[in-house]
Amino acid sequence: MVTLLQQSVREDILFLLQHAETSKSMWEALKLKAEGGKDIKKNKISLLKKEFDLFGCMKGETVRQMIERFCHLKIELERFGIHKDREEIVDKLVEALPQVDDWKTFVIVLKNDAKFDEITLDGLIE
């Protein structure tokens, strides 16, 4: 297992880790390096929550890029144990769509659809 970890992680990262020679100690050191300590985790969670609350389409960004950024944010939220329900996720992405006429019309039609309350993130993206 030690050999597999050494082959999977860049040498410069392994060099920075202070660990014993067991695979468990290497794994724990890598986990701590990736996630950070308690204070870093707490700050990251706070930043992720703010990023979610303020999420929107950026100037010059395509809808595809915005969706990719949103999906990455969703993965990060889950990784840090921040769970948002389906409704929050869908509503946030709908709110983030560009405020141009074509998208405004799409959002109005979508929200007036009887099945809007059941739509999933995947369904919305499709």
pLDDT tens figures, 94-116: 999 887 777 888 888 888 887 88
CB 7 within 8 A of CB 26: no
Domain identity same for 52 and 14: no
Query: Are the C-beta atoms of residues 99 and 66 closer than 8 Å to each other?
Result: no
Entry pTM: 0.71
Provide the residue range defining the domain that includes 108. 38-125
End-to-end CA distance of the chain, in Å?
41
Task: Give the lowest-confidence range in 55-69, 72-86, 99-113.
Answer: 99-113
Number of domains observed in the structure of the chain? 2
In tens, the pLDDT along 7-33 reads 888 888 877 776 667 888 888 888 877
Closest by CA position to 97, among listed 111, 82, 107, 84: 107
Co-location of 54 and 11 in the same domain: no
Q: What is the CA radius of gyration of the chain?
A: 20
On whether both 31 and 43 belong to a single domain, the answer is no
Same domain, 75 and 111: yes
Cα 45 from Cα 48, distance rounded (Å): 5
Residues 108 and 49 in one domain: yes
